[in-house]
A and B are shown apart, each in its own frame.
Chain A
Amino acid sequence: MSGAATLKEWTGAALAAPVAWLASIVNVPLKAWQRATGTGGMAAFFLAPNMAIFGIFVLVPLVINFFYSATSGTAYFLQDRSYVGLEQYRRLLDCGSYLDTATCREDLFWKAVHNTGLFVVVQVALMTVVSMITALILNREIAGRSFWRAVFFFPVLLSPVVTGLIWRWILQRQGLLNLIVHDLGGEPYNWLTDRFSAFTAAVSVSVWAHMGFYTLILLAGLQAIPRDLYEAAEMDGTRPARVFWRITLPLLMPNLLVVIVLALIRAVQIFDEVYVLTGGGPGTSTLYVTQYIYEIGFASLLRNPGLASAASILMGLVLVVLTLLQLQVGRRGERKGQRE
């Protein structure tokens, strides 16, 4: 352990020296800038590089995407497309009843919306709970902590395609799971052609693949909670459950908020692993919005980029509202956390 530490210190120092030198050089012009513009100017300076890259490579394409949604045709580039105004939105929103997808003009889009809604609720809840439990356990003084951390993080390293594939091999009719079921004397079951089990599989596999990510964020937050708070609580003889509700949870709020927002956003965008795992089936019961957009925008031979853009903007709007709501809730939580 001490050997590793010295090595780390050594490489750390070797790397840090030139970087620190660079940082101190940068400091000279910046000090002048600060004197000239005040702290307000500094905020602009800190924001500038990120926002410049962000503007060029995210915002501009997004704005272009808006224009796409007002055009029709199969051409990829805007100049070759014809303007149709809100026609694509009208087509997407043309529904007899939003609750019965069969009455919609674009029945598959609404089917995907319904499926995604259910998926998001179940998956985010499960994801948050599972990562929370794991982070709490990994934060304990357990033997081989970094090994266990690696175990839970490992699936994050796999590409979604490989994740989907492994689990398809496990869950398919002649897969590993049925082999185990058979050896235990059970009746093999077709996990991926049944609505309910395919949905469960989609949720579980996506939690499996990404929980390491969220566990790590929560763990970083748990590590930042000062130990003496717990020691004090222990001395007072506070029950562990109360410690969790009164100390851990409020102090973990910022990280928990990150986890929920990110998990939610990723759940709405769920695509690759489920696409490989179930392909959206059985029927269309695990067809999610991103798959719909992808298929209609690129893959399918019934390609329609305008409709895909319109669908993505509708989805984006829903997400902005969701995020705003969450941030609002989170801000209230933060304030509450600060007061205590």
Chain B
Amino acid sequence: MTKTRTLLAAMSVSLLASTSAFAGDVRIMWYSDGVEGDVIQDLLNRFMKDNPDIHVTLDNVAYKVIQEQLPIQLEAGQGPDIARVTNIKELAQHWLDLRPLLADPKYWDDNFADTLDWMRPDGSKAIPGFMTQLTLTGGFANKTLFEQAGVALPGDKATWDDWINAAAQVAKSQQLPAAFAIDRSGHRISGPNVSYGANYIGSDGKPAKVDDGTKAFVGKLVDWTAKGLMLKDTWVSAAGSTYRAAADDFINAQIPFYYSGSWQVANLSTKIGDSFDWVATGSPCGSAGCSGVKGGAALVAIKYTKNPKDVAKVMEYLAREDVVKEFSERTLFLPAHKGVVAKGGLKWVSTDKNVGPALDKFVKAAGEALPAADALPPWKWANAYFAALVTRVSQVMAGELTLDDAWGKIDQDIADKVAEAK
């Protein structure tokens, strides 16, 4: 038995030894929604050819790992050297400040000015990384279905009511199960809420109670669901804050109007193919404006790295203007780089005639976002607010809760979270 033990111990030691970090090793934890893993690997291979002393390993993981396991590793003072993450604000204390390591910090300040606050603690001047992808929520319409029904697509300043009425006509004439759908996500309904005047952020920076703007749009949404205008499945067929996309219903021409976001463009393009024509519509208007909400995934350096210098080199390379441009063009992601956006002329790598105009529309719609919406990505409590909204609103849709009870529950859930985080 002791023999086996020593053998076991020896084997585990050798396994451990083989994985310890060497100088020049940089680990990137990365998740993919589509082809971006291949694209970044390609870009990194080029980097390694020019910098033979740095070896970059791309650890592709499930998004779940980034969301649920990485925070545990970070809190234990471990983790990769660089990671692609989405809850960048809440984990901001774990990011490395690259500023002292960068050759040209001004380049970063200039080109990523709008999004740096999304990933550093309030008031900090740190440069933790950059956004690999900027997203904006917005709508998509099935142009072919509208044509078949003989209904004109609502124009640029059309309100939510206009859009739903038009989509309802289409659904009726084409015998579709519903007029529209929104992804099951608190983030997705926040743009419309803001368009109706909602503001989640209190004067002290803490979450405010649910206000009239939120009540106005959510009330409409619940009403549309009860009337069968909104596809019930997406929201009702899950509990808690589980994310559910309605993309498949749009892809199968079951709904003429779909509210999701810019990241769907590549997905829609591959799955719809030539079945019908679709357009991005931007966000419909409410009483206060026509706002979507921004978001996205950032690539950040992690404080616990043993090779900060090499990490900075890798980050500098990936944030280079030409590299960002190529990455965006090949992945069909909206870039967060000001220089790239200002110069324009992104050559989207796609043969689909629907893709270019859709992405351009999103770039344009980004300018329409209201201040209250732009305040959300750098706000620490945004995700908590989204989670409470989606949990309770879907209960209302399923008939388990009245709207009035739901407001109280949402306020309570968020207050609990704030109390817990003290």
Q: Which residues of A contact B (CB under 8 A)?
A: 26, 49, 72-77, 80, 102, 107-108, 172-174, 190, 192-193, 198, 275, 278-287, 291-292, 295, 298-302, 304, 306
Q: How far is the CB of B183 from chain A (nearest CB, A)?
A: 13
> Contact between A278 and B238 (Cβ–Cβ < 8 Å)?
yes
A-B pairs with lowest CB-CB distance, top 7: A283-B398, A280-B239, A279-B238, A301-B383, A301-B387, A287-B239, A281-B237
Given contacts A174-B252, A192-B237, contact A302 B388 (CB under 8 A): yes
> Contact between A279 and B420 (Cβ–Cβ < 8 Å)?
no
- Which parts of B109-147 form the interface with A (CB within 8 Å)? none
A174-B252, A275-B242 known, 13 other contacts, Cβ within 8 Å: A73-B422, A74-B420, A75-B75, A76-B71, A76-B72, A80-B75, A102-B405, A173-B177, A192-B237, A283-B394, A287-B240, A302-B384, A302-B414
Dominant secondary structure at the B interface: helix
Given contacts A174-B254, A281-B398, A302-B417, contact A291 B240 (CB under 8 A): yes
> Contact between A283 and B252 (Cβ–Cβ < 8 Å)?
no
> Contact between A304 and B384 (Cβ–Cβ < 8 Å)?
no
> Contact between A283 and B400 (Cβ–Cβ < 8 Å)?
yes
Q: How far is the CB of A91 from chain B (nearest CB, A)?
A: 9
> Contact between A76 and B75 (Cβ–Cβ < 8 Å)?
yes
Contacts of A278 in B (CB 8 A): 237-238
Please tell me which one of the listed residues A172, A192, A301 contacts residue B384 in the complex, with CB atoms under 8 A apart.
Answer: A301
Q: Which residues of B contact A (CB under 8 A)?
A: 1, 67-68, 71-72, 75-76, 87, 177, 232-233, 236-242, 244, 252, 254, 383-384, 386-388, 391, 394-395, 397-400, 405, 409, 413-414, 416-417, 420-422
> Contact between A193 and B388 (Cβ–Cβ < 8 Å)?
no
> Contact between A74 and B421 (Cβ–Cβ < 8 Å)?
yes
Q: Which residue of A lies closest to B177 (CB)?
A: A173
Q: How far is the CB of A332 from chain B (nearest CB, A)?
A: 39
Q: Which residue of A lies closest to B87 (CB)?
A: A301
> Contact between A304 and B420 (Cβ–Cβ < 8 Å)?
yes
> Contact between A73 and B421 (Cβ–Cβ < 8 Å)?
yes
User: Can you report 11 A-B residue pairs in the complex whose CB atoms are below 8 A from each other?
Assistant: A76-B76, A108-B239, A108-B240, A174-B254, A278-B237, A279-B240, A281-B394, A283-B394, A284-B400, A302-B391, A302-B416
In Å, the complex CA distance between A26 and B242 comes to 54
> Contact between A282 and B72 (Cβ–Cβ < 8 Å)?
no
Contacts of A281 in B (CB 8 A): 236-239, 394, 398
In Å, the complex CA distance between A337 and B111 comes to 79
Give how many A-B residue pairs fall within 8 Å (CB-CB).
107
Contacts of A306 in B (CB 8 A): 420
Q: How far is the CB of B343 from chain A (nearest CB, A)?
A: 36
Q: Which residue of B lies closest to A192 (CB)?
A: B237
> Contact between A284 and B398 (Cβ–Cβ < 8 Å)?
yes
Q: Which residue of B lies closest to A190 (CB)?
A: B233
Contacts of B386 in A (CB 8 A): 301
Please tell me which one of the listed residues A275, A283, A292 contacts residue B399 in the complex, with CB atoms under 8 A apart.
Answer: A283
Contacts of B240 in A (CB 8 A): 108, 279-280, 284, 287, 291-292, 295, 299-300
> Contact between A172 and B233 (Cβ–Cβ < 8 Å)?
yes
Contacts of B254 in A (CB 8 A): 174
In Å, the complex CA distance between A62 and B72 comes to 18
Contacts of B384 in A (CB 8 A): 301-302
Q: How far is the CB of A71 from chain B (nearest CB, A)?
A: 11
In Å, the complex CA distance between A80 and B238 comes to 33
Q: Which residue of A lies closest to B73 (CB)?
A: A76
In Å, the complex CA distance between A73 and B238 comes to 27
In Å, the complex CA distance between A300 and B392 comes to 13
Contacts of B400 in A (CB 8 A): 283-284
Most buried by B among A72, A75, A278, A302: A302
Contacts of A302 in B (CB 8 A): 241, 384, 387-388, 391, 413-414, 416-417
> Contact between A193 and B421 (Cβ–Cβ < 8 Å)?
no
> Contact between B416 and A301 (Cβ–Cβ < 8 Å)?
no
Q: How far is the CB of B271 from chain A (nearest CB, A)?
A: 15
Q: Which residue of A lies closest to B74 (CB)?
A: A76
Please tell me which one of the listed residues B67, B236, B409, B420 contacts residue A282 in the complex, with CB atoms under 8 A apart.
Answer: B236
Contacts of B239 in A (CB 8 A): 108, 279-281, 283-284, 286-287, 291
In Å, the complex CA distance between A192 and B238 comes to 10
Contacts of A299 in B (CB 8 A): 67-68, 240-241
Q: How far is the CB of A131 from chain B (nearest CB, A)?
A: 29
> Contact between B75 and A73 (Cβ–Cβ < 8 Å)?
no
In Å, the complex CA distance between A286 and B400 comes to 13
> Contact between B232 and A193 (Cβ–Cβ < 8 Å)?
yes
> Contact between A300 and B387 (Cβ–Cβ < 8 Å)?
yes
Q: Which residue of B lies closest to A188 (CB)?
A: B177
Q: Which residue of B lies closest to A106 (CB)?
A: B416
Contacts of A279 in B (CB 8 A): 237-240, 242, 244
Contacts of A292 in B (CB 8 A): 240
Contacts of B397 in A (CB 8 A): 283
Given contacts A283-B395, A302-B413, contact A192 B233 (CB under 8 A): yes
In Å, the complex CA distance between A174 and B246 comes to 13
In Å, the complex CA distance between A302 and B413 comes to 8
In Å, the complex CA distance between A283 and B386 comes to 17
In Å, the complex CA distance between A174 and B71 comes to 38
Q: Which residue of A lies closest to B239 (CB)?
A: A280
In Å, the complex CA distance between A295 and B242 comes to 9
Contacts of A287 in B (CB 8 A): 239-240
> Contact between A193 and B237 (Cβ–Cβ < 8 Å)?
yes
Most buried by A among B237, B244, B405, B414: B237
Contacts of A198 in B (CB 8 A): 237
Contacts of A280 in B (CB 8 A): 238-240, 242
Q: How far is the CB of B223 from chain A (nearest CB, A)?
A: 17
Contacts of A74 in B (CB 8 A): 420-421
Q: Which residue of B lies closest to A300 (CB)?
A: B241
Contacts of A282 in B (CB 8 A): 236-237, 398
In Å, the complex CA distance between A41 and B189 comes to 66
> Contact between B416 and A304 (Cβ–Cβ < 8 Å)?
yes
Contacts of A193 in B (CB 8 A): 232-233, 236-237
Q: How far is the CB of A191 from chain B (nearest CB, A)?
A: 10
